[in-house]
A and B are shown apart, each in its own frame.
Chain A
Amino acid sequence: MESLSPQTLPLWTRPFAAVGRRAIRWVNHLGAVAIFFILATLKVVHPKQLAKIAYQIYEIGARSVPIILLVGLFTGMVLGLQTYHALVTVGAQGALGTLVALSLVRELGPVLTAIMITARAGSAITAEIGIQRISEQIDALDTMHIDPLRYLISPRIVAAVISFPILTALFDLIGIIGGYFSGVVLMGANAGAYIYRVQASMELKDVTDGFIKAVVFAIIVTAVCCYQGYFAHTREDSRGAKAVGLSTTAAVVISCVLILVADYIVTSLLI
């Protein structure tokens, strides 16, 4: 049988073959990211990890608080404004609190928080680890018999899993306050109805589902960003500083796409 190589394939099939090769490469990468994540997670438990985890919680979590507050506030305000205008047309402005709270807690809170942390901390993780890779700092860890996965990756995974739900809760809270400000203070909706609806319509499951999503996104973001930095030197399209730059861009884009894909999958499983 004649072997199948790109040269022997009919001309019209080549675009499909190229798409297929790209898809296989993507699946390979996803598998490699999963293995990388599992290996790093296995090294979480170690007596010398606590200080590094605390430092990463500061880097990933505490330093993201201002941007989360800002984005959360304006997201809630826009949501309050748009929802109020839509509800007024059907005379149901009393449901403002329900819509703002549920939209934020179930969907917008976890997703936007994850995307904002990706942009702020995820990109920094990839760039830092990438530079450590190309300047042989990771090789130096190996020669000092310090496991790079334990030293560099595990603390970031734990810190992200702790930080993402807390930042999501903060985003939800400030978003609900933003919705109150635009809907009640600026547009004149009933304050008591807004607060009552927020309390009455939200169940514990809504909050826990939001937290489950936050943890899933934390795993995705740290796995992708750390992986892209750790293997920046193996890129085929560039070397050195340019490779770190491209890896950082790839980490942010892939993380954001995977966050949205995972959001749909997790929502369909939880609903």
Chain B
Amino acid sequence: METPLIEFQDVTKSFGPRTVLDRVNLRIHAGQVTTIIGLSGAGKSVLLKHIIGLLKPDSGRIIFQGRPLDEMTVSERKSSLAQISYMFQDNALFDSLSVYDNIALPLRETTNLSRSEIDRRVTARVEQMELADAVNKYPSELSGGMQKRAALARALVTDPRIVLFDEPTSGQDPIRKNAILGMIAQYQRRIGFTAILVSHEIPDVYFISNRILALYDRTVVFQGTPAELEDFDHPFLDDIIRSLEGLHGELTDPFARTRFAMAHQELEKKKTGKDIHALPAENHHG
């Protein structure tokens, strides 16, 4: 059986008297898009912060490429975590730096690239995120959506192998939301990085996700494909899925949905070698 890229074994985390994660077990596989869904305050961001090493579990183990993080030397741990990039829910942009400098920061500080090469990479991300008009502005001068795209550009500028996205599409209009999800899907297909998303955009993320993890009542209650989630019988569905189904039609325009359904099918075909074009797109997102 394939060794998971990241594995949680009975991870528990409390903040004072409040337990946020209770004996969480999960597996994330390399080269896939895994989406963590759950109610607000369910501990999704806390879970992501354990992966990047910002938080340490009170008990339990986090295993990275087959080795427990707590058994690694400092340098091993550093080089493991160096493969990961993180996009914060609240963006965490440096408010005293311009958008350009924010995006260039990880390249300037962690690489020895020439100024022209850094400029080339930053400009490519800026254009990809439609931020050309905002490069010289400060984050406080941008809308929430533009700040989100700047944070996304910064997370991707180093071409990381693993990217954690904490609510990458919140605050975006439907077209840009689709564009961001599309970019994550295309990028993942082209480079093959591992994407771990936390998202509330439940119908939309199904199009690009290989696996869904459902966090409910402080623990992971479901791990599987989006199609398998449809057959999952759990109070979680009552609380989240059904409520969101009401919003289903409002979230994306039909053209974008078809486009993402095709992108997802292509991805599946490439990964499994099976042609799933015959399956209707609706089967994948309920």
Contact = CB atoms under 8 A, between A and B. Distances in A.
Interface string B189-223: 00000000000000000000000000000000000
Contact of A140 (B78, B84, B92): B92
Given A139-B49, A140-B88, A143-B85, 8 more contacts: A136-B88, A137-B93, A139-B88, A139-B92, A140-B92, A144-B105, A144-B109, A151-B109
B106 interface: yes
A50 interface: no
Report the contact-size class of chain B (Cβ under 8 Å from the partner). 20 to 34
Interface string B97-139: 0000000011011100000000000000000000000000000
Interface of A: 48, 128, 131-132, 135-137, 139-140, 142-146, 151
Contacts of B158: 144
Interface in B232-274: none
Contact of B110 (A128, A131, A135, A146): A146
Given A135-B95, A139-B54, A144 B90 contact: no
B90 A143 contact: no
B148 to A, nearest CB: 14
A136 B81 CA distance: 18
A237 B260 CA distance: 49
Given A144-B109, A144-B110, A146-B105, A136 B78 contact: no
11 contacts: A136-B88, A140-B88, A142-B54, A143-B54, A143-B84, A144-B105, A145-B78, A145-B82, A145-B106, A145-B110, A146-B110
B46 to A, nearest CB: 13
Contacts, number: 50
Nearest to B108: A48
A132 B52 CA distance: 19
A95 B87 CA distance: 67
Nearest to A144: B106
The list of the 5 closest CB pairs from A to B, nearest first, reads A140-B92, A143-B86, A136-B92, A144-B106, A146-B109
A139 B86 CA distance: 10
A1 B28 CA distance: 53
Residue of A48, A136, A151 with most chain B CB atoms under a 10 A cut-off: A136
A145 B78 CA distance: 8
A135 B139 CA distance: 13
Nearest to A151: B109
A144 B84 CA distance: 8
Nearest to A139: B54
